[in-house]
Amino acid sequence: MVEFLENEKLISSHQHGFVKFKSCITNLLECLDVITECINRGFAIDILFIDFLKAFDLVPHEELLVKLEAFGFNGKTFNWLKAFLSDRKQRVVLDGVSAEWKNVLSGVPQCSVLGPLLFIIFINDLPNGLSILCKLFADDSKLISVIRNPKDREEFQSNINKLLNWTIEWKMDLNLGKCKVMHLGNKKIHQDHFYSFEIDDNGTVTFQI
Protein backbone atom coordinates (compact mmCIF):
# COMPACT_ATOMS: atom_id res chain seq x y z
CA MET A 1 0.00 0.00 0.00
CA VAL A 2 2.76 2.43 0.92
CA GLU A 3 4.66 1.67 -2.28
CA PHE A 4 1.53 2.26 -4.34
CA LEU A 5 0.83 5.59 -2.59
CA GLU A 6 4.42 6.72 -3.09
CA ASN A 7 4.64 5.68 -6.74
CA GLU A 8 1.38 7.41 -7.59
CA LYS A 9 2.26 10.42 -5.43
CA LEU A 10 -1.15 10.31 -3.77
CA ILE A 11 -0.23 11.57 -0.31
CA SER A 12 -0.49 15.34 0.06
CA SER A 13 2.81 17.21 0.10
CA HIS A 14 1.45 19.03 3.17
CA GLN A 15 1.48 15.80 5.21
CA HIS A 16 4.61 15.23 7.33
CA GLY A 17 3.40 12.44 9.63
CA PHE A 18 4.18 8.78 8.88
CA VAL A 19 5.64 9.76 5.49
CA LYS A 20 9.10 8.74 4.24
CA PHE A 21 11.77 11.47 4.48
CA LYS A 22 9.41 13.73 6.45
CA SER A 23 8.97 14.36 10.15
CA CYS A 24 7.96 16.97 12.70
CA ILE A 25 11.32 18.64 11.94
CA THR A 26 10.54 19.10 8.23
CA ASN A 27 7.11 20.38 9.18
CA LEU A 28 8.59 22.98 11.54
CA LEU A 29 11.35 24.03 9.14
CA GLU A 30 8.90 24.67 6.28
CA CYS A 31 6.69 26.71 8.59
CA LEU A 32 9.69 28.61 9.93
CA ASP A 33 10.73 29.58 6.39
CA VAL A 34 7.30 31.11 5.76
CA ILE A 35 7.22 32.91 9.10
CA THR A 36 10.76 34.29 8.76
CA GLU A 37 10.17 35.64 5.25
CA CYS A 38 6.88 37.22 6.31
CA ILE A 39 8.41 39.00 9.31
CA ASN A 40 11.42 40.15 7.30
CA ARG A 41 9.06 41.82 4.82
CA GLY A 42 7.27 43.64 7.63
CA PHE A 43 4.00 41.73 7.45
CA ALA A 44 2.02 39.93 10.14
CA ILE A 45 1.17 36.26 10.16
CA ASP A 46 -1.68 34.31 11.77
CA ILE A 47 -1.43 30.61 12.56
CA LEU A 48 -4.44 28.50 13.55
CA PHE A 49 -3.50 25.36 15.47
CA ILE A 50 -6.21 22.74 14.95
CA ASP A 51 -7.03 20.00 17.43
CA PHE A 52 -9.31 17.15 16.39
CA LEU A 53 -11.38 15.53 19.11
CA LYS A 54 -10.21 11.91 19.56
CA ALA A 55 -9.05 11.99 15.95
CA PHE A 56 -7.91 8.39 15.52
CA ASP A 57 -10.94 7.05 17.39
CA LEU A 58 -13.61 8.98 15.47
CA VAL A 59 -12.70 8.18 11.86
CA PRO A 60 -16.00 6.81 10.45
CA HIS A 61 -15.48 3.46 8.74
CA GLU A 62 -17.94 4.00 5.90
CA GLU A 63 -16.35 7.32 4.91
CA LEU A 64 -12.86 5.84 5.22
CA LEU A 65 -13.80 3.02 2.85
CA VAL A 66 -15.09 5.59 0.35
CA LYS A 67 -11.72 7.32 0.42
CA LEU A 68 -9.77 4.06 0.15
CA GLU A 69 -11.75 3.15 -2.95
CA ALA A 70 -11.16 6.64 -4.40
CA PHE A 71 -7.42 6.14 -3.86
CA GLY A 72 -7.55 3.10 -6.12
CA PHE A 73 -7.63 0.31 -3.58
CA ASN A 74 -10.08 -2.21 -5.00
CA GLY A 75 -10.62 -5.91 -5.52
CA LYS A 76 -9.01 -8.20 -2.95
CA THR A 77 -7.11 -5.35 -1.30
CA PHE A 78 -10.28 -3.34 -0.72
CA ASN A 79 -12.15 -6.39 0.57
CA TRP A 80 -9.29 -7.17 2.94
CA LEU A 81 -9.27 -3.60 4.27
CA LYS A 82 -13.04 -3.68 4.68
CA ALA A 83 -12.78 -6.95 6.60
CA PHE A 84 -10.00 -5.44 8.74
CA LEU A 85 -12.35 -2.64 9.83
CA SER A 86 -15.55 -4.71 10.08
CA ASP A 87 -17.07 -6.65 12.95
CA ARG A 88 -14.88 -5.04 15.59
CA LYS A 89 -16.23 -5.06 19.13
CA GLN A 90 -15.13 -3.67 22.45
CA ARG A 91 -16.14 -3.83 26.10
CA VAL A 92 -15.00 -2.57 29.48
CA VAL A 93 -13.81 -4.93 32.19
CA LEU A 94 -13.43 -3.54 35.72
CA ASP A 95 -12.67 -5.61 38.82
CA GLY A 96 -13.69 -8.77 37.03
CA VAL A 97 -17.06 -7.36 35.93
CA SER A 98 -17.55 -7.13 32.17
CA ALA A 99 -19.84 -4.80 30.26
CA GLU A 100 -21.71 -5.91 27.16
CA TRP A 101 -19.87 -6.07 23.87
CA LYS A 102 -20.48 -3.04 21.64
CA ASN A 103 -19.90 -2.69 17.91
CA VAL A 104 -17.02 -0.39 16.94
CA LEU A 105 -18.21 1.72 14.00
CA SER A 106 -15.43 4.28 13.92
CA GLY A 107 -11.74 4.70 14.53
CA VAL A 108 -8.57 3.28 13.03
CA PRO A 109 -7.03 0.51 15.17
CA GLN A 110 -4.27 2.13 17.18
CA CYS A 111 -0.98 0.33 17.84
CA SER A 112 -1.48 -1.42 14.50
CA VAL A 113 0.73 -1.08 11.42
CA LEU A 114 -2.22 0.04 9.29
CA GLY A 115 -3.70 2.54 11.76
CA PRO A 116 -1.49 5.57 10.99
CA LEU A 117 -1.58 4.88 7.23
CA LEU A 118 -5.36 4.69 7.19
CA PHE A 119 -5.58 7.96 9.10
CA ILE A 120 -3.34 9.95 6.78
CA ILE A 121 -5.36 8.59 3.84
CA PHE A 122 -8.53 9.77 5.54
CA ILE A 123 -7.25 13.29 6.27
CA ASN A 124 -5.34 13.61 2.99
CA ASP A 125 -7.86 15.87 1.23
CA LEU A 126 -8.18 18.36 4.10
CA PRO A 127 -5.86 20.94 2.41
CA ASN A 128 -7.74 20.67 -0.90
CA GLY A 129 -9.63 23.85 -1.75
CA LEU A 130 -7.84 25.95 0.85
CA SER A 131 -6.27 29.15 -0.43
CA ILE A 132 -3.77 29.47 2.42
CA LEU A 133 -0.98 27.24 3.64
CA CYS A 134 -1.94 24.09 5.54
CA LYS A 135 0.57 21.83 7.27
CA LEU A 136 -0.25 18.39 8.65
CA PHE A 137 1.48 15.99 10.99
CA ALA A 138 -1.03 13.13 11.15
CA ASP A 139 -3.94 14.77 13.02
CA ASP A 140 -1.96 17.82 14.16
CA SER A 141 -2.87 20.51 11.66
CA LYS A 142 -2.32 24.21 11.25
CA LEU A 143 -3.42 26.94 8.86
CA ILE A 144 -0.92 29.70 8.13
CA SER A 145 -1.74 33.02 6.49
CA VAL A 146 0.20 36.20 5.76
CA ILE A 147 -1.79 39.20 7.04
CA ARG A 148 -1.20 42.46 5.16
CA ASN A 149 -4.68 44.00 5.29
CA PRO A 150 -8.30 43.29 6.39
CA LYS A 151 -8.96 41.28 3.22
CA ASP A 152 -6.32 38.76 4.30
CA ARG A 153 -8.20 38.31 7.58
CA GLU A 154 -11.43 37.72 5.64
CA GLU A 155 -9.67 35.11 3.53
CA PHE A 156 -8.33 33.43 6.66
CA GLN A 157 -11.85 33.30 8.10
CA SER A 158 -13.12 31.88 4.80
CA ASN A 159 -10.56 29.08 5.03
CA ILE A 160 -11.58 28.34 8.62
CA ASN A 161 -15.15 27.96 7.36
CA LYS A 162 -13.94 25.55 4.66
CA LEU A 163 -12.12 23.54 7.31
CA LEU A 164 -15.26 23.37 9.41
CA ASN A 165 -17.29 22.24 6.39
CA TRP A 166 -14.76 19.44 5.85
CA THR A 167 -15.22 18.21 9.42
CA ILE A 168 -18.99 18.21 9.01
CA GLU A 169 -18.89 16.41 5.66
CA TRP A 170 -16.54 13.69 6.93
CA LYS A 171 -18.05 13.41 10.44
CA MET A 172 -15.03 14.57 12.42
CA ASP A 173 -15.18 16.83 15.46
CA LEU A 174 -12.90 19.66 16.53
CA ASN A 175 -11.83 20.14 20.12
CA LEU A 176 -12.66 23.84 19.99
CA GLY A 177 -11.20 24.55 23.40
CA LYS A 178 -7.76 23.53 22.12
CA CYS A 179 -7.93 25.31 18.74
CA LYS A 180 -5.78 28.41 19.12
CA VAL A 181 -4.57 31.30 16.96
CA MET A 182 -1.05 32.69 17.23
CA HIS A 183 -0.37 36.23 15.96
CA LEU A 184 3.19 36.99 14.87
CA GLY A 185 4.95 39.93 13.27
CA ASN A 186 3.82 43.52 12.73
CA LYS A 187 1.66 44.61 15.70
CA LYS A 188 0.15 47.55 13.80
CA ILE A 189 -1.33 45.18 11.23
CA HIS A 190 -2.70 42.76 13.82
CA GLN A 191 -4.71 45.12 16.06
CA ASP A 192 -7.52 43.35 17.94
CA HIS A 193 -9.12 40.61 15.90
CA PHE A 194 -10.91 37.33 16.49
CA TYR A 195 -11.71 34.43 14.21
CA SER A 196 -14.72 32.24 14.76
CA PHE A 197 -16.25 28.82 14.15
CA GLU A 198 -19.97 28.67 13.45
CA ILE A 199 -20.95 25.40 15.04
CA ASP A 200 -24.60 24.96 14.12
CA ASP A 201 -26.66 25.05 10.91
CA ASN A 202 -28.14 28.46 11.69
CA GLY A 203 -24.86 30.06 12.69
CA THR A 204 -26.36 31.22 15.97
CA VAL A 205 -23.60 29.75 18.15
CA THR A 206 -20.13 31.15 17.53
CA PHE A 207 -16.84 30.07 19.08
CA GLN A 208 -14.21 32.80 18.95
CA ILE A 209 -10.47 32.18 18.88
Cα of 194 vs its chain's centroid, Å: 21
pLDDT tens for 64-95 read 999 999 999 999 999 999 999 999 898 999 99
**CB 202: neighbour CB atoms within 10 A?**
6
Cα separations (Å) of 187 from 40, 107, 148, 190, 197?
Answer: 14, 42, 11, 5, 24
- Residue 209's Cβ-count burial label (10 Å; 0-12, 13-18, 19+) is middle
Distance in angstroms (rounded) separating the CA atoms of residues 176 and 167? 12
Number of domains in the chain: 1
| Average pLDDT of span 18-24 | 94
Phi, psi for 97 (deg, rounded to 5):
-100, 130
The residue segments making up the domain with residue 55 are 1-206
Least-confidence region, from 41-55, 58-72, 88-102, 189-203: 189-203
pLDDT at res. 188: 74
